[in-house]
């Protein structure tokens, strides 16, 4: 066989191999995208793999969009059409995860600003640093009518070399005449601090009840507020953490730098163990919380807090049933709320019943904690 014919044959063979690889990866991408939608409804305890696919939904979506562009550029219209149909089948998850709404200046006079913020124990700062924490300036100047804290921590020891006390925070939050602080987990012997969920409000807090879920550091609280002559259920959640240690996060960070097989295997095994356990615990927690929510006999409902789970998860979908996601309804973009150690995800939410209309949901990119604060305006319809 002449050299030119041999080269042509080899070129065709390589071309076929590349073509098969492209088609195979496209089919896998479509399959993973469609399976990831099931993360909303399939119990993590029954199929943890589906929960993992929900976690990487943004990545599989990006790959599928890339294939749509590829087939369009090369005029492969049938393939492009199939790819487009697959993406459109995922429209609800897409619009929930990547909404496109622009802010409005037309806000009703009766608007209420709700702010939720996981403050990581105010970073456990002590002494003068604790009193000058920028979180306090941010919240005090936020103009929020209701402030919902997760990982709220105050000292019961009034010595100035300790973390900030409840009395000191009350002075900072002097514009909020009503408050509720609920301790989470078991009170430890000789403990000098209170750790849990707190609510500071300009509206009367009529009642606060802790939801009976098993957890050492996480929990849920249901408040009843008197807002503009209406009774409103305010649910503040801090669902089970994935319990990633500093060493676990370093493994993930190292893998992003090296991208070798050994670090990938070590990282994936560690993450799998942590995530699998946390998914199953959150499954139990949200089922209990949802039952409590359904028992409330009020005029409206607001649910907020740190869910420790993405919009493509069983936990999010269960809690948000019958409610409106303020970010999906009025926000823009992915709305990342957790930003530490290259973990960039939306896990903090404000949800509300149809009795409210939400406006201008915003994630403020202030790096005072490992979470960004989230706020929205609400108005009774």
User: Residue 291 maps to which CATH number?
Assistant: 3.60.10.10
Angle at alpha carbon of residue 40, lines to 294 and 224, rounded to 5° = 25
Is the predicted pLDDT of residue 3 greater than 60, yes or no? no
Mean pLDDT, the chain, as a whole number? 90
- Its pTM stands at 0.90
The answer to whether residues 372 and 366 touch, using CB atoms and an 8 Å cutoff, is yes
The pLDDT of residue 375 is above 70:
yes
Lowest-confidence region among 104-118, 266-280, 283-297, 332-346? 266-280
Per-residue tokens: 315: 């936990």
Q: Is the pLDDT of residue 8 over 70?
A: no
Question: Are both 223 and 264 inside the same structural domain?
Answer: yes
Q: What is the pLDDT of residue 324?
A: 98
146 lies in a domain?
Answer: yes
Task: Determine, yes or no, domain membership for 105.
Answer: no
**In the predicted model, is pLDDT for residue 191 greater than 90?**
no
Give how far Cα 53 sits from Cα of 13, 179, 193, Å: 34, 40, 39
8 Å CB contact between 196 and 181: yes
Q: What is the pLDDT of residue 162?
A: 80
pLDDT tens, 312-364? Answer: 999 999 999 999 999 999 999 999 999 987 789 999 999 999 999 999 999 99
Whether 117 and 76 map to the same domain: the answer is: no
In angstroms, the first-to-last Cα distance of the chain is 80
132 vs 211: which has the higher pLDDT: 211
Of 97, 123, 138, the last residue of a domain is 97
The pLDDT value given to residue 260: 64
DSSP tag of 121? G
Question: 267 and 375 share a domain?
Answer: yes
Both 87 and 190 in a single domain? no
The predicted pLDDT at position 254 comes to 63
pLDDT at 17: 80
277 within some domain: yes
Residue 246 pLDDT = 64
**Structural tokens at position 158:** 């009034």
Sign of CA dihedral 164, 166, 167, 169: positive
- Residue 157: pLDDT band (50, 70, 90) is confident
Instruction: Report the domain count for the chain.
Output: 2
Note whether 92 and 116 are same-domain residues.
no
Return the structure tokens found at 71.
């087939």
Residue pointed to by tokens 């790959």? 63
pLDDT band at 256 (very low <50, low <70, confident <90, very high): low
Question: Is 225 domain-assigned?
Answer: yes
* Position 312 in a domain: yes
Assess whether 43 and 125 both reside in one domain: no
pLDDT grade, residue 185 (50/70/90)? confident
Instruction: Tell me, yes or no, whether 222 and 295 share the same domain.
Output: yes
| Alpha carbon 336 to chain centroid, angstroms | 8
Contacts of 319 by beta carbon, 8 Å cutoff, 6+ apart: 237, 286, 289, 290, 293, 303, 307, 351
Domain boundary among 97, 126, 149: 97
214: pLDDT confidence band, cut at 50, 70 and 90? confident
- Of residues 100, 110, 145, the one with CA closest to residue 329: 100
The C-alpha R_g of the chain, in whole angstroms, comes to 24
- Report the relative pairing of strands 374-380 and 193-201 from DSSP bridges: unpaired
Residue 223 inside a domain? The answer is yes
Domain that holds residue 28: 3-97
Average pLDDT over residues 26-35: 96
248 — pLDDT class (breaks 50, 70, 90): low
Show which of 97, 132, 159 is a domain's final residue: 97
**What is the share, in percent, of the chain residues with pLDDT greater than 70?**
88
120 in the same domain as 11: no
Q: Would residue 106 count as lying in a domain?
A: no
- Burial class from Cβ neighbours inside 10 Å (0-12, 13-18, 19+) for residue 334 reads middle
Predicted confidence at residue 98, as pLDDT, reads: 97
User: What is the reported pLDDT for 343?
Assistant: 83
Helix (H, G, I), strand (E, B) or coil at 95: helix
Tokens of 80: 């492009």
Same domain, 74 and 169: no
- Distance CA(243)–CA(121), nearest Å, equals 16
Residues 6+ apart with CB under 8 A from 273: none
H helices of the chain, where? 3-37, 48-55, 57-73, 77-89, 91-97, 127-131, 134-140, 166-172, 246-258, 261-294, 314-320, 326-330
| Same domain for 241 and 156 | yes
What is the percentage of the chain residues whose pLDDT exceeds 90? Answer: 72
| Same-domain status, 224 and 164 | yes
Shared domain check, 161 and 90: no
- Model pLDDT, residue 9: 53
- Tell whether 205 is covered by a domain: yes
Report how far residue 264's alpha carbon sits from residue 269's, in angstroms, rounded to the nearest whole number. Answer: 8
């Amino acid at each position: 066989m002449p050299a030119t014919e041999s080269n042509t044959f080899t070129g065709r063979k390589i071309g076929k191999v590349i073509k098969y690889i492209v088609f195979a990866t496209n089919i896998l991408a479509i399959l993973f995208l469609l399976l990831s939608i099931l993360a909303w409804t399939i119990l993590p305890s029954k199929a943890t793999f589906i929960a993992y696919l929900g976690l990487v939904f943004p990545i599989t979506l990006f790959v599928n969009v890339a294939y749509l562009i590829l087939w369009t550029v090369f005029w492969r219209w049938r393939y492009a059409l199939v790819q487009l149909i697959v993406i459109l089948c995922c429209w609800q998850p897409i619009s929930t995860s990547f909404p496109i709404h622009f802010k409005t200046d037309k806000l009703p006079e009766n608007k209420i600003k709700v702010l939720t913020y996981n403050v990581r124990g105010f970073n456990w700062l002590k002494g003068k640093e604790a009193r000058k924490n920028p979180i306090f300036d941010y919240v005090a100047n936020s103009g929020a009518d209701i402030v919902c804290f997760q990982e709220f921590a105050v000292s019961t020891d009034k010595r100035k070399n300790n973390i900030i006390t409840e009395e000191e925070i009350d002075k900072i939050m002097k514009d909020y005449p009503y408050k509720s602080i609920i301790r989470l987990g078991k009170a430890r012997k000789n403990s000098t601090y209170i750790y849990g969920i707190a609510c500071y409000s300009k509206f009367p807090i009529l009642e606060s009840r802790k939801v009976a879920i098993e957890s050492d550091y996480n929990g849920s609280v249901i408040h009843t507020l008197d807002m503009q002559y209406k009774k409103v259920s305010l649910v503040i959640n801090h669902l089970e953490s994935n319990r990633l240690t500093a060493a676990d996060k370093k493994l993930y960070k190292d893998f992003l730098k090296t991208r070798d097989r050994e670090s990938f295997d070590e990282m994936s095994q560690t993450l799998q163990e942590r995530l699998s356990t946390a998914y199953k615990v959150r499954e139990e927690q949200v089922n209990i919380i949802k039952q409590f929510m359904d028992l409330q006999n009020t005029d409206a409902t607001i649910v907020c807090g740190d869910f420790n789970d993405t919009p493509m998860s069983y936990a999010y979908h269960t809690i948000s049933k019958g409610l409106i996601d303020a970010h999906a309804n009025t926000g823009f973009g992915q709305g990342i709320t957790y930003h530490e150690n290259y973990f960039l995800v939306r896990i903090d939410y404000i949800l509300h019943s149809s009795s409210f209309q939400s406006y201008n949901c915003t994630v403020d990119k202030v790096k005072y904690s490992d979470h960004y604060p989230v706020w929205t305006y609400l108005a009774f319809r």
